[in-house]
Amino acid sequence: ILYTGPCPNQLLMPTIDWAMKSLKKRRFALLGSDFIYSHAAHAVLTDAIEARNGSVVFNDFLPLSAFADVTRLMTQLKQLRGT
């Protein structure tokens, strides 16, 4: 694997810390493109969120060509807001 930018933990840990501290968020939805970086990022994020007593309530990947699926996923995410 060759990363040409920051590794997921270098980029995402500060974001999770900020969301949990500044926004008081504990529930997270993870949505990414279906390729290796997103899978690695979701694994790192899930571990970090759970270690901080948060939860991942949605975890999905979209094929890069799946524009039609975005509507379906947005509907699912909106439904999660009410729970």
pLDDT, tens digit, for every residue of 31-66?
988 888 899 899 999 999 999 999 999 999 988 776
CA end-to-end distance (rounded Å), the chain: 38
Q: What is the pLDDT of residue 83?
A: 61
- What's the pTM value of the predicted model, to 2 decimals? 0.77
Residue with tokens 């920051």: 6
Phi/psi for 10 (5° steps) reads -70, -30
Dihedral through CA 19, CA 47, CA 61, CA 59, nearest 10?
-70
Decide: helix, strand or coil at residue 24.
coil
Provide the sign of the torsion angle of the four alpha carbons 36, 31, 47, 4, taken in this order: positive
